[in-house]
Each structure stands twice: as structure tokens, then as C-alpha cells.
A and B are shown apart, each in its own frame.
Chain A
Amino acid sequence: MPFMPVKFNLQKRVKLAQGLWMLYWFSVIAGILIFSLGIFFKIELRKRSEMMDNNESHLVPNLLILVGLLACGLNAFGGKVCHDSLDPIKFSKWKPMLKTYLLLCCGFNVLLVLVSLLCFLMQFSVYLTLAEGLSYAIRFYKDTDTPGRCFMKRTLDMTQIEFHCCGNNNFRDWFEVQWISNRYLDMSNDVVKDRVLSNVEGKYLMDSVPFSCCNPGSPRPCIQHHLTNNSAHYDYDHRTEELNIWTRGCLEALFSYYSSLMSSIGVFVLFAIILESVDMAGLKYLSTALETMAEPENPECESEGWLLEKGVKETFSDLLTKLKTFGRTNQVEGGDAPEANT
């Protein structure tokens, strides 16, 4: 008893072939989109790899690029098969390959499911890498003369300006690090010397933030120094002042950007999975409809198409027995002797 049989006459077969050909080309476009999304994601990660201490995992974008290329290839082949299916001579070329092709498509669908899962799960890894990377970035902000870190200041400044954020979790992270290099501190000044000596590790700490934390939307010129000292500025209360500097932390800002990117890519891959499954079902119907034609010479005859030759349970049990016998053929010594006797 075939699973989900459908009767086809010539008109229906032609319509199915044409519709399926269009659908395969849509799937090729979807594959190209997945490929470009993978490249875009890779570039975005590379742009800010300094914020992640160059430790970020490129697994997801690499997989997306691979899957995109595979999708293009498989779907283009499927489109070609559909295009040739109405001509029996051309179709007979492709007939023997169809079974392997459908199995490949199944495996590809499983890969797509895996990629989609990774898109959602790897966000945790991105969060942890960002947290670690940003704390290093703030610490190495002042090291503009150390090779390998000389652009950290510029990258962090541009990130804070672009993402409207300040510090790791909030602006107070800047109070805990020395972000002005000793090269630019006047060590002969008493105030400076006092401050350095009063700190356990000899760091020059102050309650100030870099200029990139300033909010251009603030109605008053930016206050970046003596932030917690109300008396240092006229008409200033640091508890109620909200617009002066960015209050969001860069960890939250960067993570929300990357997580929304990864989530949208994950949703698009799910959509691609649905598209691929529909393609596979359509191709199975088309190939079975063409195979079961009662009179191969007469194109007008009716035929039947199905998804599975037997019911779902029977197909599964068949598959299991096949796997078992496949396992058994590897144990030649056990089975061979009694068979040779009979």
C-alpha cells in the first residue's frame, strides 16, 4: 500500500514538472542567500575580532558558506532533472541517479537542521567570548605603543561611538582601569604622584571616561571627568543625569547585535529546510509518476505517484532489516560455514 498516492495524467505531470523546476530555482537563490549571509557574518566577526581577543569561533559562518554552496549545486542538479523529465530519452539518463540523489538530499536536510541549531546555540559562546574580549580591550586601551595592541584604542573608541555604549557592563568599568598611559602623565606633578601612590598596584585611576562615551544627544557639553563628583560641575547630579554619556554597556550592545543576526540567519535556514523538503517530495512524486506509466510509449496515459512504496512502518522495518544484514555481511566467518554446507 503506497504512502500518500496521487493519480497523475499528462497535464498534471507537466504541471508538476514545471512547478518543481521553478521551485528548484528558488531554492538555488535561497542557497546563494545562505552563502552570502555566511560571508557577511564572517566579515562582521572579523571586523570586531579585536573586541573578542581574536578568539572568536568561525564555525557557524564557515558552515553556512559550505551549506550555501552545496544547496546551489544540489538544487541546480534537481532543476536540470525536472527540466528533462518530460522527455523520456533525456530522463532515462538521470533515472539511475535519482535514488542516490534523494538520499543525498535527505542527508543535506539533516545538515541544515544541524546548522540551524548551531545558529541558536552558538550565541552563548559569542557572549562569553565578548565578555572576556571586552575586559581585555579596556585594559589594553592605553597601550598604543605595544605592537599588536596599538589599534585597540581606535577600535574601542569607534565601537563605543557606533554602538552607543560605554565600558563592558557600564561606564564604571573605566574607573577600575588606568586608561591614560604613563607616557602622557606628568610625573613631576604632585597631584598625579599622590594618586598613583594611593593605589595598591600603583595605577593612575580616576572617575573619568574616554571621549567616545559621550552622548551627542545631550543638551549640555559632555562631562567626562570627575563624573561622581557633583561639586566639580555646575548644576550636575550624577545620580539623575542620564543623557551625558552612554549608559548601556558594550557587552550588551554588541551581543544584542550578534544574537539578532544569528537568530535571523537561523530562521532563514529553517525556511530553507522547509523548501528543500517540499522539493524532495515533489521530485519523488514526479519520478514515481514517470516510472509507473502503464504504456511508456503513450505519453497521455495515467500513472500513479507516491512518497513511499510501502507504508511508513513497513519502510522503516525494511530499512532496519537492511541495516542488520549489512552488519551481518561483515561477520563472514560466522555465517559462511553453515551456508556453504547447504
Chain B
Amino acid sequence: MAVGKVTFSKVEREKLAEVLWLLNWISVVTGTILFGLGLFLRVEIHKWQEVMSEQGILYVPDMLITTGLAACCINFFGGKICLDCADTNKFLRWKLVMMPYIICTFFFTSCVLAGALMCYGIRSQMEESLFMGLRNAMRYYKDTDTPGRCNLKRTVDLLQIQFQCCGNTGYRDWFHIQWISSRYLDMSSSAVVDRMRSNVEGKYLMDGVPFSCCSTFSPWPCIQHHLSTSSTQDKQSQQLNLWRRGCRQALLDHYTGIMQSIGLTVLLIWLFELLVLTGVRYLQTAMENVLRLGDPESESDGWILENSLAETARSNFNIIKNLGKCYQVDDDPNINVPTQVQVPVTSYFVPETRTKT
């Protein structure tokens, strides 16, 4: 009992081939779109890579880039095949390639789906990476003389200015770290020495934030120091002076937004590819049946699977089992059986013994 059986006349077959040729060319375009989206995501992640702790997130854009390139190649090839399939003579050329091509396309289409799902699933990993990355970035903010970290101050300042955020979760994160390097602290001053001694780890902590936390929307000049003890303004109005959002939340929102739109586009592309794959499968089975019937002008059936799903799965499983068996020659019950047992297969050995004598 075939799955999804449809009968095609000669005219319908030719029309199907033409439509599939066009759809394959559109798929080449969507493949380039996929490639472009992967490239765009990679560039966006690269921009703020310094504040992310792990580079594993890059596998999402890399996956999109590879599937995009694969889409272009496969669909370009597929367009050529579909154009030839309209004619039974030309189809003979491609007959043996068709099945592997369909399996390849099926595999590649599932990669596209995996890429789309990855875009949605990566949020928690990104949050973790941003939390650790921002914490380290703030810790090394003062190390502008250490090779490898000299740009972190600039990156964090630009991040806070551009995304209008301050600190990891909020501006108070800056109170827990020393963000002024000891190079710029007057160690001879008793106030400085007192403050450093009063801290367990000998760090110079203060209730101040860098200038990049200052909000441009605030109507009064920025107060960045002595934030806990300010007497001239009320506590409530103080909140408006600095950016209130944490940078982790800001970056997470930014990237989640991008990835959700990309994920949606990739899902749509996946649906389109699935449609093309189904069409190619119908065309392949219809053309094979025409060849089997022998009459190019007759009607033929096309289907997705020749037998029902369960039978196809069972036969495929048996094929795989037998594939494994051809490497285990000793277990074959038909070899080295004594001649008393009347098994027809032993007749294979008769010509050999005959030639020996």
C-alpha cells in the first residue's frame, strides 16, 4: 500500500518537472539568503565577542553558513536534474543518481531544521556565557596595561554607551570591583591607604561608576561618584542619572531578537525545501514507473513511499542488518554444512568439486 499515491499523465509529469526546475532555482536564492543570515549573525557575535566567555556559540552561525552553501549546490544540481526529467530518455542518465540525491537532500533539509531549532534553543547558553564574560570584562576593566586585555576598558565603555546599560545586572556591580588601576591611585595619601586596608583583599572599592554609565537622557549633569551618600539630590531622582538596565539583559535582548527573526526565516526556508523535496520524490517515482511500464506516453503513479511506513522501516532495518552480516562470513549457516542435509544452497559448491576431479 503506497504512501501518498498520485497518478500522473505525461503532460502532468512534464509540468511537474518544469515547476520543480523553477522551485529549485528559487531554492538557490533562499540558500544564499541562509548563507547571508549566517554571515550576519557571525559578524554580530564577533562584535561583542570580548564580553562573552565561550566561543561555542559560534556553531550556530557556522551551521547556517554551511547549510546555506550546501543548499546552493544541491538545488543548483537539482534544477539541472529536474529539467532533464521531463524526457524519459534523459532521465535514464540520472536514474541511478536520483535516489542518493534524494537521501542527501533529506539529510540536508533536516540540517536546516536543526539550524532553526538551534537559534531558538541557544538562549540559556548565551545568558550563561554573557554572565561570565561580563563579570570577567568588568574585573579586567582596569588592566589597560596588560597585553591581551588592554582593549577591554574601551569595549566595556562603548558597550555601556551603545546599549544604554551599566554593569552586569545593575550599576551596583561596579561597587564590588576595583575599576581604577593602582597606577592612578596616590598610595601616599592616607585616605587611599585606609580604604585599601579596610577591604579584605586589599582592593580599592568605592561607590562610583565609570563615565559610560551616565545617561544622556538625564536633565542634570552626571553624578558618578559617592552614589550611596549623595545629599543634594533625593534617592529617587538619582536613579535617572545612570543607565538602569544591566548590560547582560541588554545584550541578551539584542541577540535574542536577532536570533528569533533568523530562526523564523530559516523555518520558512525549511518548509520550502521540504516542498521541493516532496516534488522531486514524486517526479522520481513517476519516471521510474514509466520506465517500468515501458510506454513513455502512458500514465504512471508517483508516491512518497512504496509500501507503508512500517514495512519500509522493517525492510530498511533488514538491509542494514544484512550489510553488517556480509562481514561476518563464519556465521553464515549455509557454509560448511555436511552433504546429508538437503539444502539447495550447497549446490553452489558442486561445480568447484567437479572441476577439481
Q: Which residues of chain A have a CB within 8 Å of any CB of chain B?
A: 144-145, 150, 153-154, 157-158, 161, 179-181, 183-184, 186, 210-212, 214, 216-222, 224, 233-235
Max chain B C-beta neighbours (<10 A), residue from A158, A216, A217, A234? A216
Q: Does B180 contact A (CB under 8 A)?
A: yes
Expressed in whole angstroms, the minimum distance between the Cβ of A251 and any Cβ of chain B is: 21
A221 touches B219 (CB 8 A): no
Q: Does B344 contact A (CB under 8 A)?
A: no
Give which listed residue, B154, B180, B233, contacts A221 with CB less than 8 A. Answer: B180
B210 touches A184 (CB 8 A): no
Chain A neighbourhood of B158, CB < 8 A = 216
Q: Which of B117-145 contact A (CB under 8 A)?
A: 144-145
Q: Does B281 contact A (CB under 8 A)?
A: no
- Chain A interface main SS type: loop
Expressed in whole angstroms, the minimum distance between the Cβ of B152 and any Cβ of chain A is: 11
Give which listed residue, A184, A212, A219, contacts B153 with CB less than 8 A. Answer: A219
A154 touches B216 (CB 8 A): yes
- 19 A-B residue pairs with Cβ-Cβ distance under 8 Å, sorted by A, are A144-B220, A150-B219, A154-B216, A161-B161, A183-B220, A184-B220, A184-B233, A211-B211, A212-B214, A216-B153, A219-B150, A220-B144, A220-B181, A220-B184, A221-B180, A221-B210, A222-B210, A234-B186, A235-B184
Expressed in whole angstroms, the minimum distance between the Cβ of A245 and any Cβ of chain B is: 10
Expressed in whole angstroms, the minimum distance between the Cβ of B155 and any Cβ of chain A is: 9
Chain B neighbourhood of A211, CB < 8 A = 211, 214, 221-222, 224
Q: Does B285 contact A (CB under 8 A)?
A: no
B211 touches A222 (CB 8 A): yes
Sample of 9 more A-B contacts, CB < 8 Å, known A220-B183, A221-B210: A153-B216, A181-B220, A186-B232, A210-B221, A211-B214, A212-B216, A216-B154, A216-B158, A221-B211
In chain B, what residue has the closest Cβ to A222? B211
Q: Considering the complex of A and B, which 10 residue pairs feature the smallest CB-CB distances, nearest first?
A: A216-B157, A219-B144, A144-B219, A234-B186, A157-B216, A222-B211, A211-B214, A211-B211, A214-B211, A211-B222
Chain B neighbourhood of A161, CB < 8 A = 161, 216
In chain A, what residue has the closest Cβ to B141? A221
A184-B232, A216-B153, A216-B154 known; A221+B222 contact, CB < 8 A: no
B220 touches A158 (CB 8 A): no
In chain B, what residue has the closest Cβ to A162? B161
Complex formed: what's the CA distance from A224 to B221 in Å? 12
Contact-residue size bin, chain B (C-beta under 8 Å from the other chain): 20 to 34
Complex formed: what's the CA distance from A145 to B150 in Å? 41
Expressed in whole angstroms, the minimum distance between the Cβ of A72 and any Cβ of chain B is: 29
Expressed in whole angstroms, the minimum distance between the Cβ of A184 and any Cβ of chain B is: 5
A144-B220, A184-B221, A216-B161 known; A224+B211 contact, CB < 8 A: yes
Q: Does B24 contact A (CB under 8 A)?
A: no
Chain B neighbourhood of A214, CB < 8 A = 211-212
In chain B, what residue has the closest Cβ to A216? B157
Expressed in whole angstroms, the minimum distance between the Cβ of B208 and any Cβ of chain A is: 9
A154-B217, A210-B221, A211-B222 known; A234+B185 contact, CB < 8 A: yes
Chain A neighbourhood of B179, CB < 8 A = 221
In chain A, what residue has the closest Cβ to B155? A216
Expressed in whole angstroms, the minimum distance between the Cβ of A157 and any Cβ of chain B is: 4
Complex formed: what's the CA distance from A55 to B333 in Å? 100
In chain A, what residue has the closest Cβ to B217? A154
B221 touches A179 (CB 8 A): yes
Chain A neighbourhood of B214, CB < 8 A = 211-212
Expressed in whole angstroms, the minimum distance between the Cβ of A43 and any Cβ of chain B is: 21
Q: Which of B277-307 contact A (CB under 8 A)?
A: none
A186-B232, A222-B211, A224-B211 known; A158+B216 contact, CB < 8 A: yes
B145 touches A219 (CB 8 A): yes
Max chain A C-beta neighbours (<10 A), residue from B157, B216, B217, B222? B216
Chain B neighbourhood of A144, CB < 8 A = 219-220
In chain B, what residue has the closest Cβ to A212? B216
A216 touches B216 (CB 8 A): no
Chain A neighbourhood of B216, CB < 8 A = 153-154, 157-158, 161, 212
Complex formed: what's the CA distance from A150 to B224 in Å? 22
Give which listed residue, A150, A157, A218, A235, contacts B183 with CB less than 8 A. Answer: A235
Complex formed: what's the CA distance from A184 to B238 in Å? 12
Complex formed: what's the CA distance from A181 to B220 in Å? 8
Expressed in whole angstroms, the minimum distance between the Cβ of B227 and any Cβ of chain A is: 14
Complex formed: what's the CA distance from A98 to B237 in Å? 72
A180 touches B221 (CB 8 A): yes
Chain B neighbourhood of A179, CB < 8 A = 221
Expressed in whole angstroms, the minimum distance between the Cβ of A171 and any Cβ of chain B is: 14
B154 touches A145 (CB 8 A): no
Complex formed: what's the CA distance from A219 to B216 in Å? 23
A217 touches B154 (CB 8 A): yes
In chain A, what residue has the closest Cβ to B212? A216
Complex formed: what's the CA distance from A267 to B308 in Å? 70
Chain A neighbourhood of B154, CB < 8 A = 216-217
Expressed in whole angstroms, the minimum distance between the Cβ of A167 and any Cβ of chain B is: 15
Complex formed: what's the CA distance from A208 to B161 in Å? 21
B153 touches A210 (CB 8 A): no
Complex formed: what's the CA distance from A180 to B211 in Å? 17
Interface string of B203-218 (1 = CB under 8 A from A): 0000000111010110
Max chain A C-beta neighbours (<10 A), residue from B179, B185, B211, B222? B211
Complex formed: what's the CA distance from A322 to B158 in Å? 69
Chain A neighbourhood of B161, CB < 8 A = 161, 216
Q: Which of B169-188 contact A (CB under 8 A)?
A: 179-181, 183-186
Complex formed: what's the CA distance from A217 to B232 in Å? 32
In chain A, what residue has the closest Cβ to B188? A234
Expressed in whole angstroms, the minimum distance between the Cβ of B137 and any Cβ of chain A is: 13
In chain A, what residue has the closest Cβ to B180? A221
Expressed in whole angstroms, the minimum distance between the Cβ of B93 and any Cβ of chain A is: 40
In chain B, what residue has the closest Cβ to A144? B219
Chain B neighbourhood of A235, CB < 8 A = 183-184, 186
In chain A, what residue has the closest Cβ to B224? A211
B184 touches A210 (CB 8 A): no
